[in-house]
Amino acid sequence: MSETPVETAVPAPSSGEAVKAAPLPAGHPPVKPRRIGVLLVNLGTPDGTGYWPMWRYLREFLSDPRVIELSRAIWYPILYGLVLTTRPQKSGDNYKKIWNREKDESPLRTYTRSQAEKLADALADLPEVRVEWGMRYGNPSTRNAVQRLFDQGCDRILTFPLYPQYSATTTATANDQLFRALMKMRHAPAVRSVPPYYDEPAYIDALARSMTAALARLDFEPEVVLASYHGIPKPYFDKGDPYHCHCMKTTRLLREKLGWDEKRLITTFQSRFGAQEWLQPYTDKTVERLAGEGVKSMAIVNPGFSVDCIETLDEIGREVRDEFLHAGGEKFAHIPCLNDSPEGMEVIEAMVRRELHGWI
């Protein structure tokens, strides 16, 4: 019987030491050095603000059964007959207001790339680790990011869905897409997924420090601060999605860290779409109510977003701001997401180092 050539097992390397393989048998095909990949995954972004780039992005996003749980027989006529004929133009106009014109891309892509670059620098003491980034929808795709890691010799991949709170509409579908990519590979790497970090002390501390610094830069002290999270349809919660619970716990821990009461920091949900009921209270309705009750100054923070994007910069920074002012408010501020700030990168690095244990 012929012997199947294999690499001889070697002891695990000490910290900072690259993995080394024993000499290969004569005639064995070249083997790349064994490396470990870290893949940052964010929601996604259109490639441009024009009609067709927006159409392609929205089609991919709104065709995801994790996002829209209606049957295709019901949803597709609505999607292709109404949504994709009207929404690309409107969404493109909104993206133009926040577009990074220097790089010709959305802020979400700019920040996610920067997070990956800064994480790679922070992990320079681990020479066997490679860092890439990708999107669940749009470009750079998850599949291409996985292939880039594999081409660098990564036989293990730690994927990091950049969503602090878990939802089937975000974390789960990002992981689905990763495994779709692996299904196309004959030699698929082993994978791990960073768990939701909605209650991680490092994350809560980073939010508190970032908020404190942002509020200190204002020329007013907000009477109320809203912690506004992206909403999901209420039926998803009724079926067991833990997202609402995760959001509520994040706010509670943040409130405790800041030493605030329930009237100072309020949880709300934004970005609802369609006619069905979503998680409440709604951000826009809460803003109108508070202004009507005499609140003159307000700030909004978005703890459910790892980076600023269309939902934070335009929906909150423009639409909700205008609603508050028109309803009688006088001073409004949007507190930036953690983005690629030192506080934000501390969270990402801490989570990655912890989840790499056993591989490093």
| Mean pLDDT of the region 247-252 | 98
pLDDT of residue 158: 98
pLDDT tens per residue across span 110-133: 999 999 999 999 999 999 999 999
Does the pLDDT of residue 4 top 90, yes or no? no
Q: Are 106 and 310 in contact (CB under 8 A)?
A: yes
Does the pLDDT of residue 42 top 80, yes or no? yes
For residue 281, whether the previous peptide bond is cis, meaning omega lies within 30 degrees of 0, is yes
pLDDT band with cut points at 50, 70 and 90 for residue 5 = very low
d(CA 220, CA 331): 8
Instruction: Give the residue extent of every domain in the chain.
Output: 49-98, 201-334
pLDDT tens per residue across span 143-184: 999 999 999 999 999 999 999 999 999 999 999 999 999 999
pLDDT band with cut points at 50, 70 and 90 for residue 44 = very high
The structure's pTM equals 0.90
pLDDT of residue 20: 55
d(CA 126, CA 140): 25
Specify the CATH architecture of the domain 201-334. Answer: 3-Layer(aba) Sandwich (3.40)
Secondary structure of 164-209 in the HEC alphabet? CCCCHHHHHHHHHHHHHHHHCCCCCCEEEECCCCCCCHHHHHHHHH
Is 311 annotated to bind ligand? yes
pLDDT tens per residue across span 259-318: 999 999 999 999 999 889 999 999 999 999 999 999 999 999 999 999 999 999 999 999
Is 244 annotated to bind ligand? no
Burial category of 215 from C-beta neighbours within 10 Å (exposed 0-12, middle 13-18, buried 19 and up): middle
- Category of 60 on φ-ψ map: left (φ > 0), alpha (ψ -120 to 50) or beta: alpha
| Mean pLDDT of the region 36-58 | 98
pLDDT of residue 10: 43
Q: Are 41 and 159 in contact (CB under 8 A)?
A: yes
Does the pLDDT of residue 340 top 80, yes or no? yes
pLDDT of residue 274: 86
